[in-house]
Amino acid sequence: MDSQAKPSLNANPPKRSRKILGGVIAVAVMAGLGGLAWYLTHQPAAPGGGASAQGPGGPGPGGPGGPGGRRAPATTVGVATAEKADIPVTLEALGTVTAAATTTVRAQVSGILQSVLFKEGQLVKAGQVLAQIDPRQFEMALMQATGNRQRDEAQLENARLTLNRYRTLLTQDSIARQDVDTQAALVKQLEGTVMTDKAAEGTAKLNLGYTRVVAPISGRVGLRAVDIGNLVSSSDTNGLATITQLSPIDVEFSIPQDSVPDVAQRVNDGASLPALALDRTRTNTLDSGKFYAMDNQIDTQTGTVKAKARFANAKFSLFPSQFVNVRLELRTIKDATMVPVTALRHGNNGDFVYVLKEDKTVTVRPVKRGAATVDKVQITEGLQLGEQVITEGADRLKEGAKVTLPGQGGGKGGRDGASSPSGEHHRRKKEGAAQQ
């Protein structure tokens, strides 16, 4: 009985010792983690650091009020100088190329198409013969009209001779006046008949000329709609082909109603407004031209006015129904103060820029902006020519902040580098070498 009770009495001490050992280990681990956290949060700021979450130059490690009273490092920024330049005031819009004239070539008389004298897509000139219709029936009609005219002219000549004889006899009192009047009326009747014959002959000549189908305008002819041997007439819907005038050519675009007064004023002053036709990416200039015309009313649905610009299109770089970007130059501002677009900032009180001072600090300067290009903007008030403005790194700045220009160093790794641990070590190493 006693031998069996001893093992049960000695089983508890090992379990209690293990629990105590585990608790000690846990306390030691927690103490180590706490010490590590304190070390990380209280160690000196690294070179080039020191900006706290409160912003550039704010209190925190390495800044005013932080451990050691160290200054915030200077921020490296990009600068640009306010320059004088001429800036064009432009209006950009999406335009559609439209032909200055488009016509459908149709036969003006009915007949069999004998020949086609053009190639599809060919450039033709006004008056050039494009097709030939069978002319034989029209030649016969002209001959008949000419014969009728000649016959009636002969009758008229005979009637005039008879009238002259009658008048001579009337002076001799050898004929009755009634016969003279009757002959005079016959002469007038035959004169009318001859005039009608001349008109019929002229119509026959026109119809014979219409058998030669000519180009009414100069331009590029399209695809042929009728083949040789078909009967053509003036009532054909598609005609023979379509000619589109390519030079000069127009581009239609829309002007916002707010810009209409400026454009109208320039046009009324007799100014010639240059226009550029750019490709889809606005990088390549297709052609240059001038403002041509503006519509007489505003579209109430879009709030725009339709306008046209005309281009010479000498290289045929513009094609009808092509979409292009139009850049219309309204005027040019002379000697404008220009800075990069990235230098202009926007705040609650309006636009401002950071101006670089001689002591390498910045100051906030309220400004007023004017016209702008793709990469530069005009400053109408608040900035003088030659002053330097911050273009990069302005998000980390505030009034009076210290800055460093690219290539000049800065921060604690530059002129203030001796106050950092790594700078102090480097200085001591140099002094030891000098003593040796």
On the question of pLDDT at 122 being above 60, the answer is: yes
On the question of pLDDT at 221 being above 80, the answer is: yes
Q: Residue 312's closest CA among 283, 279, 277?
A: 277
| pLDDT average, residue stretch 247-269 | 92
Q: Which residue has better confidence, 362 or 42?
A: 362
Strands 403-404 and 75-76: parallel
Q: Where are the domains of the chain?
A: 2-42, 103-243, 247-333
Which range, of 17-21, 42-46, 78-82, 388-392, averages the lowest pLDDT? 42-46
| pLDDT average, residue stretch 179-202 | 95
Entry field: residues in the chain: 436
On the question of pLDDT at 309 being above 80, the answer is: yes
| pLDDT average, residue stretch 131-140 | 96
pLDDT in tens, 29-49: 888 887 777 666 655 444 333
Which phi-psi region, left, alpha or beta, contains residue 104 (left: φ > 0; alpha: ψ -120 to 50)? Answer: beta
At residue 160, the 3 state secondary structure works out as: helix
Go through 81-115 and write b for each residue having 16 or more CB atoms within 10 A of its CB, e for each that does not. ebeeeebebbbebebebbbbbebebbbebebebee
| pLDDT average, residue stretch 150-165 | 95
User: Which of 1-10, 228-237, 378-387 reaches the highest mean pLDDT?
Assistant: 228-237
Would you state the pLDDT for residue 213? 95
pLDDT in tens, 365-423: 899 988 887 788 888 888 888 888 988 888 888 888 888 887 665 444 334 433 343 44
Q: Give the CATH number of domain 247-333.
A: 2.40.30.170
Residue 366: cis peptide before it, omega within 30 degrees of 0: no
Would you state the pLDDT for residue 42? 58
What are the tokens at 368? 């007023």
Confidence of residue 102 (pLDDT cuts 50, 70, 90): very high
What are the tokens at 327? 């850049």
Query: Rounded to an integer, what distance in angstroms lies between the CA atom of residue 250 and that of residue 268?
Result: 21
The pTM is what?
0.60
On the question of pLDDT at 114 being above 60, the answer is: yes
Confidence of residue 75 (pLDDT cuts 50, 70, 90): confident
Would you state the pLDDT for residue 43? 53
On the question of pLDDT at 134 being above 50, the answer is: yes
Query: Rounded to an integer, what distance in angstroms lies between the CA atom of residue 107 and that of residue 6?
Result: 131
On the question of pLDDT at 11 being above 50, the answer is: no
List % helix, strand, coil for the chain (3-state, nearest 5): 35, 30, 35
Confidence of residue 17 (pLDDT cuts 50, 70, 90): low
On the question of pLDDT at 55 being above 70, the answer is: no
| pLDDT average, residue stretch 12-39 | 72
For 134-264, strand residue ranges (E) read 212-214, 219-221, 231-232, 241-244, 249-256
Q: Residue 138's closest CA among 90, 84, 85, 206?
A: 206
Give the residue ranges of DSSP H helices in 235-382.
260-268
Q: Give the CATH number of domain 103-243.
A: 2.40.50.100
